[in-house]
Amino acid sequence: MKKNIAVIRGDGIGPEIVGEALKVLDKIAALYGHEFTFTDVDMGGCAIDRFGDPLPQAELDKCLASDSVLLGAVGGPKWNDVPGPMRPEKGLLRLRADMGVYSNNRPAKIWPQLADASPLKPSIVAQGIDFIIVRELIGGIYFGAHNTITKDGRLLAIDELTYSESEIERIGRIGFETAQKRSKRLCSVEKSNVLDSSRLWKKVMHRLAAEYPDVELSDMLVDNCAMQIVKNPSQFDVIVTENMFGDILSDEASMITGSIGMIPSSSLGASSCGLYEPIHGSAPDIAGQDIANPIGTILSAAMMLRYSFDMAAEADCIESAVSAVLDEGYRTGDILSGDPACIQVGCTEMGRLIIEKMKRE
């Protein structure tokens, strides 16, 4: 099978972690007889430096012409003073919107080998952490109007939060359908005691529930959900929520699993062309030091194989190799525990070890 993958290496540690993921994909191609073509795309700070634009149209077109997109990370303090419309993150928002990837799926699963790395009590971790957050990705406050004006001699910042019934319905269906494939429990998270947009969210979710009688729907306010994720994460199977709430909750969820560096994500829409990326940032403070954790990016590549290319065996191959390397005690610095049996390795070595364990079953 031939696939064209648009590759956004991005900023900070992005080029390092993406480089290891591409080596893994090359190994998959060799093992299973596929052909992957990688098309480099500049987006984020590197695109600002090169073009004066976080995502020029020509670069965006490369992504839209691909079979899927693999992204490292964008942004960093170097571009903090760039005007708002030209910030690196604006390139990412534009990419998501133009690709139409409205559903961001972020698993929060603790690898048994990393139980000691979780900041939660062992008694809580022992109950199990394995849920997924389905985050609406191209609506809400991130995509509303933003403006700063002067009123009564003082600055006033305005950020608009809007959701239409159709936007809520399409992400709600993804939540229900995801729950059907898991343990059939869906928690809808909003702030309906305060926000009109959340009251509409809750109304639509309950209307949809009648179409999915096999799924148990519950409601939870976002502040309570933030508390419950650290108090009793085993209660969750699938969480569906709006853009900003999902952004915050998924970062919290990643940390209870041991490290944000371990968590992949997929962003999907109506087509099979998806956007795959680790959920962490560009970590410019450790860029170029070969100490970043590439596993989140490597697992994102596995998600691409599974969900966009229907290559389940190939995705299993990668995930099994990651597990085998963790079994042997190899750790990057972010997941290193006090266990004397653990062996600290860098980004490149972690990638090499994973490739070494990959084999076709």
Parts of the chain belonging to CATH 3.40.718.10: 1-109+264-361, 119-256
276 pLDDT more than 90: yes
- CA 311 to chain centroid, in Å, comes to 20
Q: How is residue 305 written in tokens?
A: 């194989």
At 260 the pLDDT is: 85
At 48 the pLDDT is: 97
pTM over 0.75: yes
At 57 the pLDDT is: 97
At 84 the pLDDT is: 79
pLDDT tens string 136-180: 999 999 999 999 999 999 999 999 999 999 999 999 999 999 999
Q: What is the CATH number of domain 119-256?
A: 3.40.718.10
pLDDT tens string 194-251: 999 999 999 999 999 999 999 999 999 999 999 999 999 999 999 999 999 999 999 8
By the 8 A CB rule, do 238 and 185 touch?
yes
Neighbouring residues of 337: CB distance < 8 A, sequence distance ≥ 6? 114, 116, 117, 331
The strand pair at 264-268 and 275-278 is best described as: antiparallel
pLDDT band at 264 (very low <50, low <70, confident <90, very high): very high
Amino acid at position 233, single letter: P
Task: State the architecture of 1-109+264-361 in CATH terms.
Answer: 3-Layer(aba) Sandwich (3.40)
338 pLDDT more than 80: no
Q: Which positions are annotated as active-site residues?
A: 142, 191, 223, 247, 251
